[in-house]
Amino acid sequence: MELSKAVNSSTTIKKEKKYSPLRELLKNWKKQKNALWASLFILLLITVAIIGPFIAPYDPYKPDYNAMLQGPGIDHIAGTDEYGRDIFSRLLFGARISLTVSFLSVFLGAIGGTILGLLSGYFGGWLDRLIMRSSDVMFAFPDILLAIAIVAILGPGLTNVVIAVSIFSIPSFARLVRSSTLEAKETVFVEAAKSMGASHFRIMFQHILPETLGSLIVFISMRIGTAILAASSLSFLGLGASPETPDWGAMLSLGRDYLGTSTHVVMMPGIAIFLTVLAFNIVGDGLRDVLDPKTKNE
Amino acid sequence: MSKTLLKVTGLKKSFSIPAGMFEKKKLLKAVHDVSFMIPEGKTFSLVGESGCGKSTTGRLISRLIEPGDGEIWLDGEEISQKKEAQLKGMRKKVQMIFQDPYASLNPRMKVRDIVAEPLTIHTNLSRAERYKQVSEILEVVGLSDYHANRYAHEFSGGQRQRIGIARALIMKPKLIIADEPVSALDVSIQAQILNLLKELQAEFDLTYLFISHDLSVVEHISDHIGVMYLGTIVESGPKEVIFSNPQHPYTKALLSSIPIPDPKLRRERIILQGDLPSPVNPPAGCRFHTRCPVAMDICKGTEPPVKPGETAGHFVSCHLVE
């Protein structure tokens, strides 16, 4: 009697929590200390990208010839550049440009690569060979060289930087998704879907794509870092944003003439790029630990 | 006699296996000249050891694998050579239940979407109508509507197999191909699932093609049995005949391996020598002669013809049978 009472009470106290993949993800995410900080930093960055223009203390385009190449100080937290423009304000505006360019280009590259990878892995045969050999050709070029070539064809400008970076992201996404597709294609539930008469489209997008999402999300977050670097490099080389734009890469490019005398002009955008890329990579690592089933239980 | 729902004649399938650079390409003859028929509302079981081609036969009939040769007549329609686009009608009539209930349900979908999937594919019903049918069918297989909102991994093996059965039932199919549906389950759960399958058969007038290696399971559920060895059916017939009066030496050996639940009783076991020969290079003549305890000279050279046994519907391929 007593025992059954105890058993009953203990079972009623522990309220059954409903399982949800998102809840589990959040629970595991809290255990990733570094990634948690990095993701907070990224959240801050996104906030800045959105509200930056409203909180910037100065106009990022307006020259002030009385305050040229000033070091960091009370008036200008991060100093000023060769035209006396406030570097902190330019960084705030630049966050919007960098994030937009990298998010857009990785997003476009991921969509293109995912579709190609799904087709390649699912159908196999000549389509697979065509897609994979074309990616091999693109892999043979160094990323930045390929991007330069594309921008050289399309002409400079931020839109073309987005196109260039997304094009060179496509093969890596295609290869990643293809390998997960090959694995998912062999599962029994895909066979079950086939036996029900599900269309190729349905099997690919309802059953196989969700299986690849984990590694896809990890790769996207890693790839955003690379994309920021690539976009900045292109701007640095004068192929991306025009020099007066407060783009981090373009700021680096302008500042390199004063490297010896006013180090802060390159240091500030350099640190911004460094921290952002680092944050995205750490988040990517954390996400891999949480999402990738292969490393989950190690 | 009721109408024949499924008739398979001379079904063959070979897989080419990758060979080395200088080797000749090899063929794995997984299914070799299989013929049988299932009357409507009956259960036909394919038994045999692993690798004998019984699962491949099931997948050929459900057109998950392209048949090589032979005919498959389903409900008066030849389906073995049809293109996927022409198979819509057949896909509604034939549903499968798979061996591993852990792998055959998509872990990222809720039960109601898993069970509703055939409806999503084949009908234009609204979401609400689909879910209504799902909750009805879940009741039929012994689950409840409140299970529908969960993910498959929240269930036990037996419950998952019930979900798999619900998914197979929701289209009101004529033929269900059950590929080892209980071999991944505990014995006590096996009985529940088998009884459920039997009840459903009576209720919905289902026809089963039941694939299993477990003779006691087969004895419980079947009307007719086909014993497979190395890609061919060596003996087939009504259950009572196969179990009480087996003619083929392989059937006899298989039956002697069923354990008797009484420790005092001893059965004279026929132990087969050697391993299953490779289906890449099957023995000439009778495929069983390398392991047959009563093999004769003729068995090595000539393939035995299919001979009718004493009872109607009983067929044996053995030189010993007159």
Q: What is the mean pLDDT of each run of 10 residues along chain A (298 residues)?
A: 53 52 76 86 91 84 81 82 86 90 94 96 93 92 85 88 91 94 92 91 92 88 90 87 85 86 88 93 86 53
**Residue numbers in B near A194 (CB within 8 A):** 64
**What's the average model confidence in pLDDT over B32-53?**
90
Domains: count for chain B: 1
Is the Cβ–Cβ distance between B257 and B241 less than 8 Å? no
Helix axes A125-139, A158-185, angle to 10 degrees: 140
- Whether B247 maps to a domain, the answer reads yes
* CA separation for the pair B2, A284 (Å, rounded): 63
Write down the pLDDT at residue B174: 92
The whole-number pLDDT of residue A64 equals 82
Measured between beta carbons, the chain B residues lying within 8 angstroms of A193 are 106, 117
Chain A positions touching B104 (Cβ under 8 A) are 188-189, 191-192
Does B256 map to a domain? Answer: yes
User: How long a stretch of residues is chain A?
Assistant: 298
Could you tell me if residue B273 is inside a domain?
Answer: yes
Query: Which range of residues forms the domain containing residue A226?
Result: 89-298
What does the block give as tokens for B160? Answer: 């998952």
A101, part of any domain: yes
| Residue B253 included in any domain | yes
Residues near A276 by beta carbon (within 8 Å), at least 6 away in sequence = A42, A45, A98, A225, A228
Q: Is residue A131 part of a domain?
A: yes
**Long-range CB contacts (within 8 A, 24+) of B214-218:** B214/B47, B214/B182, B214/B183, B215/B47, B215/B254, B215/B255, B215/B257, B215/B258, B216/B258, B217/B182, B217/B183, B217/B190, B218/B45, B218/B47
- In this prediction, residues B217-226 reach a mean pLDDT of 91
**Does a structural domain hold residue B145?**
no
In a domain, A22, yes or no: no
A177 close to A121: Cβ distance less than 8 angstroms: yes
**A238 within some domain:** yes
Residue, of A221 and B2, whose pLDDT is higher: A221
Of A24, A25, A188, which to mutate for an interface test with B (greatest number of B Cβ within 10 Å)?
A188
Higher pLDDT, B176 or A25: B176
Residue B253: domain span:
232-322
Q: Do A196 and B117 touch (CB under 8 A)?
A: yes
* CA–CA separation, A266 and A258 (whole Å): 8
Residue B20, pLDDT above cutoff 80: no
Mean per-residue pLDDT of chain B: 88
Residue A43 inside a domain? The answer is: no
**pLDDT of B166:** 93
Q: Any idea how long chain B is?
A: 322
CATH assignment of the domain containing A229: 1.10.3720.10
What are the residues whose beta carbons fall under 8 Å from the beta carbon of B155, sequence distance 6 or more? B111, B147, B163
Pick from A14-28, B140-154, B162-176, B230-244: least confident: A14-28
Helix axes A188-196, B157-169, angle to 10 degrees: 20
User: What is the per-residue pLDDT for A294?
Assistant: 53
| Residue matched to tokens 């994979």 | A132
The answer to whether residue A29 is domain-embedded is no
The sign of the dihedral angle between the CA atoms of B210, B92, B135, B41 is negative
Of A188, A195, A210, the CB nearest to B103: A188
* pLDDT for the residue B258: 80
Task: Evaluate whether residue B310 is within a structural domain.
Answer: yes
CB distance A231 to A98 below 8 Å: yes
> What's the rounded Cα separation, in Å, for the pair A9 and A2?
11
Q: What is the pLDDT of residue A18?
A: 58
- Average of pLDDT values for B26-35? 86
In a domain, A119, yes or no: yes
Q: Is B16 in a helix, a strand, or coil?
A: strand
C-beta atoms of B103 and A193 within 8 A: no
Q: Which of A196, A207, A211 is facing B91, going by the closest CB pair?
A: A196
The number of folded domains in chain A is 1
Residue A53 belongs to some domain of the structure: no
- pLDDT value at residue A72: 83
